[in-house]
Structure 1
Amino acid sequence: MNTYKYKHYIIYSLPPFTMYGFPIIYTAILLLLSPPNAALQELLRGFTATPDSSLPVSSFQPLLTDSIGNYSLAFLRVDRTHLALAVIHVSSQVPLWIAGKSPLAPWSSQTRLSFNGSLVISHSHTGVFWSTYTDGHRVRLSNTSNLLIESEGESPVVVWQSFDFPYNTLVENQNFTSAMKLVSSNGMYSMKLGSDFIGFYARFATNSGPDSDPGRLYFQHNPMETKAHITKGEGPIHATLSPNGFLGLYQNSSNQVDLQPFSSFQQPGTGNRIIRLEPDGNLIGYYWTGSSWVVDFKQIANPCDLPSSCGAYGLCRPGNSCSCLDNRRSYSSGDQCETSGDDFCRKRYRVLRRSGVELANKEIMAYTMMSSLEKCERACEEKCTCWGAVYSNTSGFCYAIDYPVQTLVEVMDETKMGYFKVREGAGKDKMGVGLWVGLGSLCGVVLLISGVGGVVLYRKESRGVKGYEEEEGINGGVGPYKNLRSASSKSIELSER
């Protein structure tokens, strides 16, 4: 058997004098006549593909498609210069699964996807970026967007599937087990199953531990079913997104212990549903209408309950309005009130106090009973890995914040007080830059006025005031300085392509 490559397709040529000769030659001709960017419906051993540098940045390069064309395994360009292997919902071009998290391979002719029993992304200089480490015969994409590697034989066995390694999205009928996790696209948030709950975790610090450590628990959903309960010793729980419009929690295959209905619960329709862990830490459900994805479910309904809805050292008010804890800086979306640095073991800090605040996730946070606010503050002050503390005078609960301070919630209770450490100089950098920019502009204006004044004085002295006025057109028309000011006032718009 001889193997030939054409436009990333593998064509097998057999001796012509066999009963299979004509069908294979016919198939080969069809492949040769296929469009260059057409995708196959299975990949066999020996398949290779490289990214096409001529493609637009906003497009993707299809490699494999399901039988009805809803989903595609494709090269997806990330940040213009990097490549991700992704399963994409073709109509919306939304990625549902991505192979590996980081690092990503470069979008380069030296990067290659190959299949020789394992799917492998590699680079000729830096080596392997990602591999399935399998021994399969073919790769196939199911009509449910599940990427499958199957063994050889009349009854092929699935030796690997993408449903076992979700990224940030779950699709209909995809089981989510305790061995899996969803990770937001920015890498800050993750979702995992506990023994009897769905947990949401945040990794705020840059040195927050190994990848096996999910981070800080910021939200927890426990089963709400009254007639069913989780039985210890009866096996782990798993979650499944139902086509009927709900997220179900199960123990074993039949014991449903929780049901979270979506807005489209039990409504007739054939659209797809997905749930995705978004970059703000919320789990959002979407329904495909045939032309767009619409929001169908939100795990955290109140934006103030999100871990960092107003950024570091921000304050969230009812109605989702944001301000800064220190009340001195105006809040702007996408800009933090203060900088969250490392711990304070080797760095100077100042103290920020604010009353009428509490933690959004205090129900799942540990606390210590303290007899006074001063003792609560002192306990945090003496611990260099403590970023702050929130104390309640009525209950005596002292909540220590052992992670970078994020968004606090404003409450109408002045007995709830917060103590926060702020890195020395944080928030002053931008003020300093603005001050120097202002001083520089002022100096420039002074120099410009001085220069113009010098020229005017020189010309008045050399030719007389009248001759200067007639030549420069002071009493009528537009002089050169005015033209310069007009040109400098034009705005320049930048946009990403």
Structure 2
Amino acid sequence: MKIIHITVKSPFLLFIAALLITHLSKSTAIIPQQLVRGFTANPNPTVTNFQPLLNDSTGNFSLSFLRVNQDQLALAIVHVASGEPLWQANSAELAQWGEHTQLVFNGSFVISDHGSRVLWSTNTDGDRVVLTSAPNLQILKGEKSPSLLWQSFDFPSNTLVENQNFTSDMSLVSSNGVYTMRLGPDFIGLYAKFKHIGSDPSQIYYRHRAMQAKVNIVEGRGPILVRISSDGFLGMYQNGSTPADIQSFNSYQRSAPAPRRVRIEDDGNLKGYYWSGSSWVLDYQAISETCELPSLCGLYGLCRSGVGCSCLDNQTQTQTQTQNQTQSQQCYPNQEIGDLCSVKGNKFWELRKTGVELPYKELMSYVETASYEQCEKSCHMNCTCWGILYNNASKFCYNVDYPIQTILEVGHESKMGYFKVWEGAKKKKDKRLWIGIGLLCGAMILVGLVVGFGGYKLWKRKKRVNNRILEEEHINAPGPYKDLGSSSFGSIELSNR
């Protein structure tokens, strides 16, 4: 290491040199590749995106304080080049980005607020922390043959990375907390939290069963697991290295830069990406048809394939959609009640629509009824029912026991729907209507004032013109000398000659 000797005689230059050395030392601060007992860190108020605390050996990943919603903090493993979090500590409450928040390693990783309130902890007794290039955060015990006490691979957030085993004991949860990926005995399932509190909180809306082309999944031989392969597929395994099922990515068996990852998005889709060196490239999506997403158009929304979103009751308020992001506005306000049974008097109003069905009806339970009227009646009398979808051809009656999400427009008159809307939503809607009427009346009054003021100015101008004409006529009329204008003096002089 080359040592630079600086001799400065002037106090002013000495001050400048000290500032320069301090700045250089901060800008070239070395991020450690290992943390030991006694480590503490506080968020830097000047950081706007993420604050690195621990790097992997390649420098591609960093355990960091990640800014969330401007004033909150999450402990995350960040892909440095993109700033994209690949893992976040599953704390029930996010810490504040402030001086009172502290991360400590005392054998356990602990995030605390105001020095005493623990927001998240690994509950371990380790000696050091490392971040592998997988990336996998690990707490180790011992030096020569360290034992693994805890790893982030066992506690995924919303993302699964390459070569990470995802088991039936785990779940991926979207960042908005609505959608979840879990494993069944022989399938991958996506679930949504649409139902009211007190019942099963999750509604399955996507299921991919193992094809079992090469290996059969045998009941009793242990649970299945899912793993992303570097060859570009999502594989399903049971007690072996040969997959029982693969879901191929677009880059299947083609060379693609690492890392690869799969994430459950805030719209409920499961998508795969790889890092191209400059951006994340979409490589896979479980649900390719956007109208089949569970709530693309929001509450009481209607989705038409290739067209987009509208509302079940044909309101003028609509939504727009893009390939990668949904920009939606609810047709009705979010339901503020757990279920219709908790509302005194069970007050609701009704919507009926033909040519509609559920986007994931094959995963919904149903009963057979002789007629649509019988199907509707079964829901009308049941306070846990928010609506029904009926197929007049099959006589299948699908019961929806949660506030109505996006419904598909299919155009077949034999497919009918009946939907309940909590009366409170109608009142809010009426409030918006009265606001609109008030604004319209205000605009009409303003236009009236403008027109009236313009008419007044026109009347005044016309009055001035009429007065001028009268004055001119009065001047030219015969009369006494004092009524003549100054222009008359010439004519008077001529008449005296």
Is 2:316 aligned against 1:329? yes
Equivalence for 1:259: 246
Q: After the TM superposition, which residues 115-154 of structure 1 pair with which residues of structure 2 at under 5 Å, given as runs? A: 115-124=105-114, 127-154=117-144
Give the distance between the partners of 1:162 and 1:39, measured in 2 at CA.
20
Alpha-carbon offset, residue 251 of structure 1 = 0.8
Q: After the TM superposition, which residues 355-434 of structure 1 pair with which residues of structure 2 at under 5 Å, given as runs? A: 355-424=354-423, 425-426=425-426, 427-434=429-436
Secondary structure at the residue paired with 1:256? coil
Is 2:39 aligned against 1:47? yes
Equivalence for 1:4: none
Give the distance between the partners of 1:465 and 1:38, measured in 2 at CA.
84
CA shift digits 1:279-315 (9 cap, x unpaired)? 0000000011111111100111111111011221112
Give the distance between the partners of 2:213 and 2:146, measured in 1 at CA.
43
- Which amino acid in structure 1 is aligned with residue 85 of structure 2? P
Is the CA contact (8 Å cut-off) linking 2:91 and 2:119 kept in structure 1?
no
CA shift digits 1:379-399 (9 cap, x unpaired)? 101111111000111111100
Pairing partner for 1:63 from 29, 33, 53:
53
Pairing partner for 1:249 from 236, 240, 251:
236
Pairing partner for 2:209 from 222, 228, 242:
222
Is 2:282 aligned against 1:295? yes
Q: After the TM superposition, which residues 447-466 of structure 1 pair with which residues of structure 2 at under 5 Å, given as runs? A: 452=453, 465=464
Equivalence for 2:226: 239
* Structure (1/2) with the larger helix percentage: 2
Equivalence for 1:435: 437
Alpha-carbon offset, residue 411 of structure 1 = 1.5
Distance 1:214 1:381, change over 3 A: closer
Give the distance between the partners of 1:433 and 1:121, measured in 2 at CA.
47
Equivalence for 2:324: none
Gaps of 5+ in 1: 1-31, 470-497
Q: After the TM superposition, which residues 26-175 of structure 1 pair with which residues of structure 2 at under 5 Å, given as runs? A: 33=25, 35=27, 38-56=30-48, 59-124=49-114, 127-175=117-165
Alpha-carbon offset, residue 454 of structure 1 = 11
Distance 1:135 1:209, change over 3 A: farther
Is the CA contact (8 Å cut-off) linking 2:168 and 2:224 kept in structure 1?
yes
Is the CA contact (8 Å cut-off) linking 2:308 and 2:319 kept in structure 1?
no
Pairing partner for 2:340 from 338, 344, 362:
344
Secondary structure at the residue paired with 1:103? coil
Alpha-carbon offset, residue 442 of structure 1 = 3.2
CA shift digits 1:337-374 (9 cap, x unpaired)? 22341322325221111111111111111101101111
Distance 1:204 1:147, change over 3 A: same
- Which amino acid in structure 1 is aligned with residue 332 of structure 2? E
Equivalence for 2:471: none
Give the distance between the partners of 1:146 and 1:125, measured in 2 at CA.
28
Pairing partner for 2:293 from 298, 306, 318:
306
Percent of residue pairs identical: 50
Give the distance between the partners of 2:279 and 2:89, measured in 1 at CA.
25
Distance 1:332 1:318, change over 3 A: closer
Equivalence for 2:325: none
Is the CA contact (8 Å cut-off) linking 2:257 and 2:277 kept in structure 1?
no
Is the CA contact (8 Å cut-off) linking 1:281 and 1:306 kept in structure 2?
yes
- Which amino acid in structure 1 is aligned with residue 248 of structure 2? P
Secondary structure at the residue paired with 2:244? strand
Indicate the RMSD between aligned Cα atoms, in angstroms.
2.7
CA shift digits 1:237-278 (9 cap, x unpaired)? 110011110000011233521111101001024332100000
Alpha-carbon offset, residue 208 of structure 1 = 3.4
Give the distance between the partners of 1:53 and 1:467, measured in 2 at CA.
74
Gaps of 5+ in 2: 1-23, 321-327, 469-497
Is the CA contact (8 Å cut-off) linking 1:38 and 1:63 kept in structure 2?
no
Is 2:197 aligned against 1:208? yes
Give the distance between the partners of 2:212 and 2:247, measured in 1 at CA.
10
Alpha-carbon offset, residue 335 of structure 1 = 0.8
Give the distance between the partners of 1:94 and 1:270, measured in 2 at CA.
16
Is the CA contact (8 Å cut-off) linking 1:201 and 1:214 kept in structure 2?
no
Give the distance between the partners of 2:362 and 2:454, measured in 1 at CA.
69
Alpha-carbon offset, residue 428 of structure 1 = 3.2
Normalising by structure 2, we get a TM-score of: 0.81
Distance 1:202 1:468, change over 3 A: farther
Is the CA contact (8 Å cut-off) linking 2:194 and 2:201 kept in structure 1?
no
Tell which structure's C-alpha radius of gyration is larger. 2
Secondary structure at the residue paired with 2:40? strand
Is the CA contact (8 Å cut-off) linking 2:356 and 2:415 kept in structure 1?
yes
Distance 1:447 1:96, change over 3 A: same
Distance 1:152 1:109, change over 3 A: same
- Which amino acid in structure 1 is aligned with residue 413 of structure 2? E
Is the deviation greater in 321-330 or in 298-307? 321-330
Normalising by structure 1, we get a TM-score of: 0.81
